[in-house]
A and B are shown apart, each in its own frame.
Chain A
Amino acid sequence: MIGRVIQANMRSFVFGTRVPESDVPVFGALVKTPIRHRQATIYGLIYDIAVNEDDDGMTRMLSVAEDAREEDIDWQRSRLIPLNVNVLCVGYREADGPIRRQFPPQPPIALNEIECCENDELIQFTQRLDHFQLVLDARDAPCDELLAASISQAADAREAGLRRDFVVACGRELARLLMGDSLRIEQIIRRIRWDERA
């Protein structure tokens, strides 16, 4: 578990997290959270991560203090102030049913647990690319950046020999959805990075 839901609607939800810095989920990562409706699991892509200001203004003071001590900064960091992570809903799965890449029937409820998807699940989710349209339609998310980041991660989750083919397939799906808008397609493709090493 990396956090719990703070707020949610049909299209997106926010969860709070205070995991160690090294474990903070990254932009574009696929996360999931359960809902009770038919024991479904909602999948989402992280599209924003925000650091909240503390209530007592300590962080603000420390940020401008000229002689702030390292132990004070560490103490402030350890006060369990959560990060707000915004997630775009891109699909769900009912019990043992197939993954559906569309909005879930219900939003997750408050304090539901959030987990990062492992590589196997990420590969499984990206066997189809119909969620691209949901990302492209997202009003608040930086959709092109988000697509590039999520494709990069999904490519890296695959075997080395399949990564390039996957990126090509994603590019073609984007070309189809964007009606051949070559400039935009090129911008997205150029942002995709994957590890070419085996």
Chain B
Amino acid sequence: MTDGTTTLQDLLSDRNPLAPLARARASAEAGRRRLGVVVGGSLNDGLDVKLDRDTYTEGLAVGSYVTIDGQTDRKFFGLITDIRLDAIDPNAQKMPPPAGDDLLAQVYRGTTVFGALRVKPMLMLERDTGDPRPVKTVPAHFTPVYSATPQEVEAIFAAQDAGKAYEIGSSIEDETIKIKIDLERFVERSSAIFGRSGTGKTFLALPLLAGVVRNEVASTLIFDMHNDYGYTLKGDRRQAPFKGLKQLSAIASRVVVVSLDEESSRARKAGYEFALHIGYNQIEPEDLETLKSVLSLSDVQVNALFMLHRKFGADWLRKLTNEEGDPEISELLEGNKIAEGTYHAIQRKLLRLLKFDFLRERVADNFVERILLHLTRGGSVVVEFGRYGNDLPAYVFVANFITRRIHKRYVELKEQAEGRGAAGGEGPRQLVIAVEEAHKFLDPEVAQHTIFGTIARELRKYNVTLLIVDQRPSQIDSEVMSQIGTRITCALSDERDIAAVFTGVSGAQQLRSVLAALDSKQQALIMGHAVPMPVVVRTREYGEAVYQEYAGDRLSPDERHARNAKRLGRDDDDALVR
């Protein structure tokens, strides 16, 4: 069209990918493929895009990126959130052309009936600076919409500091487009990996945590419920086990595996640094309060625990669980300080917990201190639960027990650093606590009481954040959900879970269809703090290629020297005489 009138040439060949004219134009536009034009919409609800006649809806996918050249030299970046078939005249849908009437169908396609997209604007790129900025306006009517080129997408995801970027996967449209997340931002706030069972959450979390360790953006404490992170990661039945963090050479020295179940570790031939034992004298009522629902403890019974602790101090649990009856406890019973029924109920319920081998009446060493020491020095710890992983009270108790103490210490360290003023630095090294089955700690009823709820709500104040790995986000407290910075979501099937993932994310409802369309394996929707805009990725396959990357430390001697000096808290100059 040159003078505003329609030519036959336009009608026949316009943007038809099979027509020579369109091919010439496509190459002239440097690989950009025109999809259609903006015809309506809003910033909140997304843009309506009418597809050109020759744009095949089958060639588009929810979760793909498009670019829109604005009138003011701005380039808008958007995400396809819905693809639909529309019609100017509803009669055409109710009375479609008879079978075999290709002519009428050909006439209708792109005119009376047409394909349409819903595009959520995500970012605006200023042409002069190229800086991505939050989108605050929309392009005008009839602005052409193009599929984003690999270069455009890569430019958006090219993290500022390549060293701290982690390649989490590739674009679902083009495997050559690598999608990276900013690890520093990822650990800065609590994050989550959601997905129903079998979607590969652990296969996603393990290399991600390896990336965190290798890039030294944070220490990690992993509560390894199913013994997947430390030494080996179980694959499908037909597959050989995959390497755990301890087997990745480049980071092995920085990872400590702690076993809660030595027998299981030995049987699995999984090496471990030390076995974790907890003494009765180390347990506080707060450690058991979390288990209120798991052990069916009533409020009265929980209050009795606190009372006993106040009265007997560190010896309270030994006295309480003494099956032969403790004289001092008997005194309490006789004085009606505690009801006999309550006492026996508590004893019965706690003995269920205290049967675990890792709980001992007296423990000489403070194993939590050892874990803490390792974490504050920049190391990472994997707590393998062995057979106790399948025992919910054991898992909840240990995770809460360790985390409470670590959090307490981090608060102290942070406050000390603040007390030292500017010279005191930023406080303790950033710590990420990875926890599976997180809804057991963060369910609305217990989230207020558990340390995990506190950490999730406090955010980065004390340099401790969570990495929640869970399959039931709907069971996690909404207040906690709203504080999660980065959400990596694999396929979910329950509508409530899908809705929950978007809690606290403004304008995210349109992304629900994107999430619902994910493949059940190796696909994830990432949104939040660590990515410039929501993105659907084909996650990297965990296997040989990743092993190769972690085959050895790639640092030069100088770099290694500098890193060691940094870990030891020394200036580079006074570290070693070379």
Which residues does A use to contact B, with CB under 8 Å? 101, 126-130, 164-169, 171-176, 179-183, 185-186, 189
Nearest Cβ on chain A to B95's Cβ, whole angstroms: 7
Cβ contacts under 8 Å, B8 to chain A? 126-129, 166, 169
Query: Are the CB atoms of B108 and A130 closer together than 8 Å?
Result: no
Contact in complex: A169, B89 (CB < 8 Å): no
Bound complex: CA A171 to CA B102 (Å):
12
Contacts of B11 in A (CB 8 A): 129, 169, 172-173
Q: Is the CB of B5 within 8 A of A130?
A: yes
User: Which of B88-116 touch A at CB < 8 Å?
Assistant: 88-89, 91-92, 95, 97, 103-104, 106-108, 110-113
Contacting pair B111 A176 (CB below 8 A): yes
Query: Which residues from A are CB-within-8-Å of B89?
Result: 179-182
| Inter-chain contact A182/B112, CB cutoff 8 Å | yes
Residues in chain A near residue B9, CB distance under 8 A: 127
CB <8 Å contact, B6 and A128: yes
Dominant SS at the A interface? helix
A91 to chain B, nearest CB (A): 12
CB pair B12 A171 closer than 8 Å = no
Q: Could you tell me the distance between the alpha carbons of A181 and B88 in the complex, rounded to whole angstroms? A: 8
CA distance A135 to B512 in the complex (A): 48
B42 at the interface (CB under 8 A from A): no
Chain A's closest residue to B112 (CB) is A180
The chain B residue with its CB closest to the CB of A164 is B103
Count chain B residues whose beta carbon lies closer than 8 angstroms to a beta carbon of A: 24
Once A180-B88, A189-B107 are accepted as A-B contacts, the answer to whether A165 and B12 lie under 8 Å apart by CB is yes
B293 at the binding interface (Cβ < 8 Å)? no
Which A residues lie within 8 Å of B6 (CB)? 128-130, 173, 176
A122 shortest CB reach to chain B, Å: 13
A113 to B5, CA, bound (A): 30
- In the complex, which residues of chain A have a beta carbon less than 8 angstroms from the beta carbon of B112? 175, 180, 182, 185
- Measured CB to CB, the closest approach of chain A to B19, in angstroms, equals 11
- Give bound CA distance, A129 to B41, whole Å: 32
Question: Is B91 touching A128 in the complex (CB atoms < 8 A)?
Answer: no
**Which residues on B sit within 8 Å (CB–CB) of A165?**
12
Pick from B95, B97, B103, B110: contact of A167, CB below 8 A. Answer: B103
Question: 25 interchain pairs (CB within 8 A)?
Answer: A101-B5, A129-B8, A129-B11, A130-B6, A167-B103, A168-B106, A169-B8, A169-B12, A172-B111, A173-B6, A175-B108, A180-B88, A180-B89, A180-B92, A180-B111, A180-B112, A181-B89, A182-B91, A182-B112, A183-B91, A183-B95, A185-B108, A185-B112, A186-B104, A189-B103
Expressed in whole angstroms, the minimum distance between the Cβ of B13 and any Cβ of chain A is: 9
Q: B230: shortest Cβ distance to chain A, in Å?
A: 63
Contacts of A167 in B (CB 8 A): 103
Binding site for A on B (CB under 8 A): 5-9, 11-12, 53, 87-89, 91-92, 95, 97, 103-104, 106-108, 110-113
A181 neighbours in B (Cβ, 8 Å): 89
Residues in A neighbouring B92, C-beta threshold 8 A? 180, 182
- Residues in B with CB closer than 8 Å to A185 are 107-108, 112
Are the C-beta atoms of A175 and B103 separated by less than 8 Å?
no
Chain A nearest CB, measured from B6 CB (Å): 6
Closest residue to A166 on the B side, CB-wise?
B8
Q: Shortest beta-carbon distance, B97 to chain A, in Å? A: 8
Question: What's the least CB distance linking B534 to chain A, in Å?
Answer: 34
Contact status B5-A175, CB under 8 Å: no
Nearest neighbor of A181 in chain B, beta-carbon distance: B89
Chain A residues contacting B107 (CB-CB under 8 Å) are 168, 171-172, 174-175, 185, 189
Looking at A126, A127, A172, the one whose CB has the most chain B CB atoms below 10 A away is: A172
Given contacts A172-B111, A174-B107, 4 further A-B contacts (CB under 8 A): A176-B111, A181-B89, A182-B89, A186-B97
State A169–B53 Cα separation when bound (angstroms): 12
CB closest residue in chain B, given A129: B6
- B14 to A: closest C-beta gap in Å: 10
Q: B111 and A175: CB pair below 8 A?
A: yes
Max chain A C-beta neighbours (<10 A), residue from B88, B91, B108, B112? B112
Tell me whether B110 and A179 are in contact (CB under 8 A): no
A127 pairs with B104, CB closer than 8 A: no
Q: Which 7 A-B pairs have the closest CB atoms?
A: A180-B88, A171-B107, A175-B111, A169-B11, A180-B112, A182-B92, A180-B89
Q: Known contacts being A169-B11, A180-B92, A189-B104, is A128 close to B111, with CB within 8 Å?
A: no
Contact A127 B7 (CB under 8 A): yes
Roughly how many angstroms separate A175 CA and B110 CA in the complex, as a whole number? 10
A164 to B106, CA, bound (A): 11
Supposing A128-B5, A130-B6, A189-B103 touch, asked if A182 and B108 sit within 8 A by C-beta, the answer is: yes
Residues of chain B within 8 A (CB-CB) of A183 are: 91, 95
| Complex Cα–Cα for A130 and B113 (A) | 22
Cα A173 to Cα B14 in complex, Å, equals: 13
Residues of chain B with a CB closer than 8 A to A126's CB: 8
Contacts of B103 in A (CB 8 A): 164, 167-168, 171, 189
Closest partner residue, chain B, to A130 (CB atom):
B5
CB distance from A94 to the nearest CB of B (A): 16
In the complex, what residue of chain A is closest to B53 when comparing beta carbons?
A172
For A188, give the chain B residue with the smallest CB separation. B107
B7: chain A residues at CB < 8 Å are: 127-128
Chain A residues whose CB sits within 8 angstroms of the CB of B95 once the complex forms? 182-183
Query: How far, in Å, is A193 (CB) from chain B's closest CB?
Result: 12
Please indicate the chain A residues that have their CB under 8 angstroms from the CB of B106 in the complex. Answer: 168, 171
Q: With the chains together, A164 CA to B5 CA distance in Å?
A: 22
- The docked-state distance in angstroms from the alpha carbon of A54 to that of B179 is 87
CB closest chain-A residue, reference B89: A180
Q: Which residues of A contact B111 (CB under 8 A)?
A: 171-172, 175-176, 180
- Cβ B88 vs Cβ A179 within 8 A: yes
A129 CB to nearest B CB, Å = 6
B residues within 8 A CB of A101? 5
